[in-house]
Structure 1
Amino acid sequence: MSDRMASRRRSNRRHSRWAAVCAGVALSLTAGVPGVATASDRPVSPRPPLRVLDVPTAMAGGLLHPDASPAGANDWSCRPTRKHPRPVVLLHGSAANRFNNWSMLSPWLKRQGYCVFAPNYGGVPGSPFQATGPIAQSAKQVARYVDRVLKATRARQVDLVGHSQGGGPTPRWYLRFEGGTNPAHPKRNKVRGLVALAPSNHGGDISGIGRLTTKLGLNPTMSALVGQAWSDQMAGSEMNQKLDRDGDTQPGVRYTVIATRYDEFATPYPKNFLTAGPGATVRNILIQNLCRQDVSDHLSLAYDTNAAQLVSNALDPAHATPVRCGLTLPLLGG
């Protein structure tokens, strides 16, 4: 018992350090860091009643209610309709959680008739800072969660929508190594589509900070402080080398990447984009090519109604509608 208590205390100290480091990075980039979540099957705690439409309010809510589901998500009695036959699973980014990452997009998709689900994964239950653990372990948690969604909804496949780590290495690892796809029989894939907002594909450098820690050999120290997800997401990491070795995609999956040129975390932003391999399709979108007045950054892309319409179009391309471009601001959304 004493060993378990000591382990829990060490884990709590690690996540406290993660919070401090994230705050420091946020200040240096004049940006906030998204919260992280863990794939938990525990009963959902009461959620705050209001829909959240901007990043600062979502961040505050995620700190106060780290285990809460965003509005519209995790109704385990939901059954997909003929119009929307696949449940949507939302995967938050590093140091984020399901509430602070998805409080705009979750009710957006629910109103359109989707069954929406959102786990916390990759962190200690109850901590607002999730997705700090090793990518491979996070992918295993996502695999279990998707299986639970498929069983509960009686659906054959899901669509994944992810932000940052949750749109990049974690779902891609799940698709390749944890049973999300069946390359020999793609029609048996558990996942039909992956829609990624500012995904940290191929390693990001956090506006040069990651390059510096890599050059100075500090990534192991950073990971000891804030979690293995730091080192895993650096360019050239062992995780990235294994993940990218046989190409970016899996057969039978429809990939959509939505990036912003003002990203300050998953940088440089062209590394967000994927190259289609056999049997897969990829659409890479730089949002400023569609909406010039969109100046969303890494965080606010999840609270960007222009991007939300692109997500809807990717989930249901047969009924895609033009994006009515509006002003979207960094840190705030729009």
Structure 2
Amino acid sequence: MIRSTLVSVLGLALLSFAAPLQEPDAPFSVSASAVEAAITCPNGVGKSRGGAVLLVHGTGSTGSESWQNGPYDVYLPKMQPGFDICWVDLPQRGLIDAQISAEYVALGVISLAKKSTTGKVVIIGHSQGAGLNPQWALDFWPSIRPLVSAYIALAPDFHGTIESAFCRVTGSKVGCQQSVWQQATGSNYMRAQNIDGDQALVPTTSLYTLNDEVVTPEIGPLYSARLDGASIVRLQDLDICGPTKVVDHFLMVVDATAFGLAYNALLNGGHVDRATFDRAYCTGFKQNVLHDFTGIASTAKGVFQDVTNGFFHKESQSKAEPLLKPYVCKRYPDQGFDCAA
């Protein structure tokens, strides 16, 4: 019964995103084999009725650091109707040009959709892996949209973050990580993504927290997690967990409330149904209320601080934002973008 309901809901949701694909796919600069090698499916893929789930990590992390032994690895595969979870390692910890990382998402979807029992893929991402790479992939490789049944973004920076503005102050002298340049509010990357990508391109849920110390602002009308047509849920909403809920940017990958909302969205065609959200997730994981995944978030936070401060991975630093790819200027010749030759 759950399976038939899930399939029906997903089918109805996808109908609303069945508009003609007016733009051709951008060319790929990375190989399918390179992306295949970067994907890990710890329990295999092609067995579970709920299909494949592609987990995309954030800036400075890896797939295993963000997702392995976390709730999406430990609990989600066993929850009805069952899911095959996979994670991708973005090149150089997602510190290089985010346009390249987006290719890993697009090619990852193509690869996993062929193996998924549903013929489709769910994308769940965090931070850059929520707000930049998947949305760019869906925007500039529109042929993958029919292959994505749901897109769930945890602490996404769909409109960048003012925290990256320090690159404009010091980056031209000492350098900044390439993807950090691109995540600055008003960057060329964010401008390009939000011409056509400032809307849900597949059934999308955006989950965010008022306590986010990395993606800012998350208050006021210009909050970064906004996306037209998406199901947008703030964890502190009164009908979710209320204002006493405290979770920061890095804890979003292991937070019980975010996990419960993500699962709710999976069962409802990619959109959260607030009326059926189980508020027991506000106090912990239903499977084990004492299970503590915070060590994963602490590790991710420490690595993020090290790499963004330039303590290592200096090869991904630059003294200016990376140029946009030629396909961006081809699509938007009148926007005044500087693109690579």
Band of TM-score, shorter chain: 0.5 to 0.7
- Residues 43, 287 of structure 1: alpha-carbon distance in 2 compared, 3 angstrom cutoff: closer
Q: Deviations over 1:74-96 (max 9, x none)?
A: 43343231xx2x31111011101
Map of 1:255-334 to 2, 5 A cutoff?
A: 255-270=204-219, 271-276=223-228, 281-289=229-237, 290-292=240-242, 293-317=244-268, 320-324=276-280, 325-326=282-283
Who is 2:96 aligned against?
Answer: 133
Contact 2:254-2:293 at 8 Å conserved across structures:
no
Who is 2:310 aligned against?
Answer: none
Match of 2:192 among 242, 257, 271: 242
Count of matched residue positions in the alignment of Structure 1 and Structure 2: 242
Taking structure 2 as the reference length, the TM-score comes to 0.64
1-structure distance, mates of 2:197, 2:105 = 21
Give how far 1:220 is off. 7.6
Give how far 1:145 is off. 1.5
Alpha-carbon RMSD: 2.8
Give how far 1:274 is off. 2.6
Gaps of 5+ in 2: 1-33, 286-291, 298-341
Contact 1:296-1:330 at 8 Å conserved across structures:
no
Give how far 1:221 is off. 4.2
Who is 2:56 aligned against?
Answer: 91
Contact 1:196-1:257 at 8 Å conserved across structures:
yes
Who is 1:212 aligned against?
Answer: 166
Aligned structure 1 segments of 4 or more residues deviating by more than 4 angstroms:
318-321, 327-333
| Alignment-mate amino acid for residue 322 of structure 1 | D
| Alignment-mate amino acid for residue 150 of structure 2 | G
Give how far 1:234 is off. 0.7
1-structure distance, mates of 2:293, 2:85 = 26
Give how far 1:40 is off. 4.4
Structure 1 SS opposite 2:36: coil
Give how far 1:151 is off. 1.8
Percent same amino acid at aligned positions?
A: 24
- Residues 305, 250 of structure 1: alpha-carbon distance in 2 compared, 3 angstrom cutoff: closer
Who is 2:106 aligned against?
Answer: 143
2-structure distance, mates of 1:177, 1:327 = 38
Map of 1:1-334 to 2, 5 A cutoff?
A: 40-42=35-37, 73-81=41-49, 84=50, 86-102=51-67, 103-104=69-70, 105-112=72-79, 113-123=82-92, 130-153=93-116, 155-179=118-142, 181=144, 189-206=146-163, 210-214=164-168, 216=169, 218=171, 221-223=174-176, 227-251=177-201, 253-270=202-219, 271-276=223-228, 281-289=229-237, 290-292=240-242, 293-317=244-268, 320-324=276-280, 325-326=282-283
